[in-house]
Amino acid sequence: MIVSCKKVDTKPDTLTLAYQMLGDKTWYLDYRQTITTSGIKTRTYLGQSTYFINLLKDKTTIDSDGISGVYSLDNKSGDLHISITGKTKSGTSLDYSYTIESIGAKNLIARYKESDTSTVKQFFSAK
């Protein structure tokens, strides 16, 4: 009698894990950094009413500005990106995306290019 076994990799892939870590949470903006060639300017929102975004497991989203829609994740050249396609309360369509630098159980760091000379890094926490 010959018995064989096959090792099955049960670890989720990067996108599946990212969806699990982001989904069904409200992410609150704690502070943001604007990074330019002349330095870093930090603005804190701790202890204040601030921007938040709900990212739900069904891949829908709504934020404190009233933008609702859907989000998706992709892994481009080793960078994790979140793209949001939404609409304002008045029906104006918006598409925007962030590069995710770090995701933890309760922390998220995302960045986007504001201009050719300026990058914004946002620091969120889930409560």
What is the arithmetic mean of pLDDT over 27-43? 95
pTM here? 0.84
pLDDT higher than threshold 90 for residue 1: no
Helix (H, G, I), strand (E, B) or coil at 116: coil
- Model pLDDT, residue 77: 84
- CA–CA separation, 19 vs 28, rounded Å? 17
User: What's the burial of 68, exposed, middle or buried (CB within 10 Å: 0-12/13-18/19+)?
Assistant: middle
- Number of Cβ within a 10 Å radius of residue 95: 9
CA distances from 77 to 74, 80, 118 (A): 10, 8, 22
- Model pLDDT, residue 76: 84
- CA–CA separation, 28 vs 46, rounded Å? 9
- Model pLDDT, residue 6: 53
Q: What is the CA radius of gyration of the chain?
A: 18
The terminus-to-terminus CA distance of the chain in angstroms comes to 56
pLDDT higher than threshold 80 for residue 5: no
Task: Report pLDDT digits (tens) over 40-84.
Answer: 999 998 877 789 999 999 999 999 999 999 999 999 888 999 999
Task: Report pLDDT digits (tens) over 98-125.
Answer: 999 999 999 999 999 999 999 999 999 9
Q: Are 96 and 87 in contact (CB under 8 A)?
A: no
